[in-house]
Structure 1
């Protein structure tokens, strides 16, 4: 069993554009993958430990390999970092445990890539003003994917001021020529003027935008971590999710006006936005499907590279206790 560290993953220099391509690929496999719903336990308050299994379809062109993985992700208040994850990757054809992967990079980049893909699929035609609140690694990953997936498109990004995070965020993208920034102190101003509103806030005690009417016609809202925008659920024209089984127990799910999965839009079976004035909200709860596909790609890139390994000695014959 290989031990694949974050350092080994970073050494591959995977581009944000590649991360976006992997999201399109993984969504295309959703109908043929086995994707059980997540199982979560809550040690205390808002802390959680969640298991995310997925069996990918058999690998095309190689009948000896079919990847299964289970990612365990946790958020524990006070730990550093507060959010962490690991994955066990198996070959389902023979049950072999192939690798233990540090999954923090996977979680961050696939989450950002999903937000970028969803925004592009659901935004109005001439959308170019993006609003970001919650300016941690997930927001950075999302904007990296947005900018590198469409280098020919100009974006204007409005950042919600918090301490010095907005300044550091803008500095990170100083070398990108297809983006400009404004730093805004009032979240309602961002809500009023953004074509795409992306929240990467990981916790919210109440609503982020008290009056959902603040959002302009034609807006696309993406609450990456599900928090603080539920007042849009029953009033927006369309609601999307990454997997119905994962979000069907959301409080307002029965009241969604016009719901479908984002994968149906990507596959061309749903038009997504039906008019330039529709207001749309998209909940991507996070799928083990993306994590396992990313892990399988990384494993294949690193399987012939020296990494720490653990020899697992298994019985080769039936034994009696």
Structure 2
């Protein structure tokens, strides 16, 4: 079993553009993958451990260039007061032999696949000629999202508006100084920012009540609340609601009132047109799929499989039928 750290993953210098390609590849496998719903336990208040399993399909059935069939399970936790408060680890298995191949730090995987999903969804659902993206919540997930957006379409110029919070907007802009296909504007009011946006991406991790008034969400907008919070007012008023997996959103309070609901994967596959009018208001809930995590983990493992420098632990299993 290999132990793969975040530092080793980062040293591979996997580009945001490649992350976008992996997301498209993994969505194409969704119908053939076994993807049970997440299960969570709550030690206290807002603390949680969430288990996310996925069995990828046999590569012979998908055309994906994997060396073997993989099963993986990611464990995500949030513990108030811990530093960092949010973390994740992933166990990757050979699905045919049951061998535990790797224990991986999956913080980088989670962040970059989340950003890539936001980028892919925004491109698929935005209105014609959309160029103005607005961000609220300017942490790592927002950075990953914009990295994927900019590198997936280097020929397109984006206007990006940032909601002011302490000095985060200024630090955010510094991160993208090397990119010539983006210009920034910092705004003080979230409703004013929303009114000027073609795509609104929220990366905040907590919210009480609605973040944006319904009146500020103008015809043609695409809203992507990465962490699900703050846009419940859209659920019954928007023209379309999409999600990454129906099992993730069917428990939402207003699920039965969603208009023209479908999974975003159906749009990416060409089975659903997605946006049919530049006047439609569309919201897309991407709750996070182990499908993406395990795909990323398998890609990374195969890049590092022959690296003898990576720490390995020999898991010695009993070979006798009776051993007690």
Same fold per superposition (TM over 0.5): yes
- How many residues align? The count is 320
What residue is the counterpart of 2:37 in the other structure? 37
CA–CA distance in structure 2, aligned partners of residues 304 and 275 of structure 1: 50
CA deviation digits over 1:126-182, x for unaligned, max 9?
000000000000000000000000000000000000000000001100110000000
| Counterpart in the other structure of 1:205 | 208
In the alignment, structure 2 segments of 5+ residues that lack a partner are none
Name the structure 2 match of 1:144: 147
Change in Cα spacing, 1:45 to 1:53, as seen in structure 2 (3 Å) is same
Write the mapping of 1:1-321 to structure 2, written as runs, cut at 5 A: 1-60=1-60, 65-209=68-212, 211-305=213-307, 306-321=309-324
User: Could you list the per-position Cα deviations for residues 86-107 of structure 1 after superposition, in whole angstroms to 9, with x for gaps in the alignment?
Assistant: 0000001010000000000000
- Aligned equivalents of 1:104 and 1:235: distance in 2? 35
Moved more, 97-106 or 73-82: 73-82
Please list every run of 5 or more consecutive structure 1 residues that lacks an aligned counterpart in the other structure.
none
Deviation at 1:75, TM superposition (A): 1.4
- Separation in structure 1 between the aligned mates of residue 259 and residue 69 of structure 2, nearest angstrom: 39
Deviation at 1:43, TM superposition (A): 1.5
CA–CA separation in structure 1 for the residues paired with 2:92 and 2:141: 24
- Matched-pair contact (CA < 8 Å) for 1:158–1:181: yes
| In structure 2, distance between residues paired with 1:2 and 1:267 | 35
For 2:147 and 2:66, locate their aligned partners in 1 and report how far apart those are by CA, in whole Å. Answer: 36
TM-score (norm 2): 0.97
Change (3 A) 1:63 1:132: closer
CA distance in 1, matches of 2:255, 2:79: 28
RMSD (Å), alpha carbons: 1.2
1:188-218: CA deviations, max 9, x gaps? 1111110000000000122111x21211100
- Provide the rounded CA distance (Å) in 1 between the counterparts of 2:28 and 2:67: 22
Shift of 1:48: 1.4
Cα pair 1:64 1:93 within 8 Å, conserved = no
In 2: Cα distance, 1:102 partner to 1:320 partner: 33
SS at match of 2:179: coil
Change (3 A) 1:218 1:63: closer
Residue 50 of structure 1 contacts residue 74 of structure 1 at CA under 8 Å; is this kept in 2?
yes
SS of residue in 1 equivalent to 2:82: coil
How far apart, in 2, do the equivalents of 1:188 and 1:44 lie? 34
**Cα 1:66–1:181 shift into 2, 3 Å:** same
Secondary structure of the equivalent of 1:240? strand
Contact kept, 8 Å, 1:111 with 1:142, in 2: the verdict is yes
Q: Secondary structure at the match of 2:59?
A: coil
Give, in whole Å, the separation in 2 of the partners of 1:275 and 1:165: 35
TM-score between both structures, scaled by the size of structure 1: 0.98
Note the C-alpha offset of 1:59.
2.2
Question: Take 1:245 and 1:284, find their aligned partners in 2: how far apart are those partners?
Answer: 12
Aligned residue for 1:257, secondary structure, equals: coil
What CA distance in whole angstroms lies between the structure 2 residues aligned with 1:81 and 1:232? 31
Give how far 1:77 is off: 1.8
